Amino acid sequence: MYQVWIDQDLCTGDGLCTDHCPDVFVLLEDGISYVRDPVSLLVGNDPGGSASTVEVPRKLEHQIVDAALACPGECIFIEVSGSGAPTDGAADDEHDGDDEHPG
């Protein structure tokens, strides 16, 4: 299972994440991207950051990885939990081996 959050301090507001996965990412009036729960559609913007992590349905996992890879601000973080985690390292953090990937 993937969980995703955005570091709003790093967000450049390009909106590429919303192009890749509008079910999870939303660009608000402040020009910054936030995650929203694709089931309830509640936006995780208060307070934002890792406190606003949302679970991603399996059918959207590829789209959020693509969004993280395309993000010029490298502000999208994907956490892998549970037994369904990919083994190819696509969502592993390059820096410290944690199950986080900046996008």
Among the four given CATH numbers 3.30.70.20, 1.20.1050.10, 3.40.109.10, 3.40.50.2300, the one describing domain 2-102: 3.30.70.20
- Could you write out the three-class secondary structure of the chain? CEEEEECCCCCCCCCHHHHHCCCCEEECCCCCEEEECCCCCCEECCCCHHHHCEEECHHHHHHHHHHHHHCCCCCEEEEECCCCCCCCCCCCCCCCCCCEEEC
pLDDT tens digits along 36-76: 987 776 665 555 677 788 999 999 999 999 999 999 999 99
- Look at residue 46 in the predicted model and tell me its pLDDT: 58
Greater model confidence, 58 or 90: 58
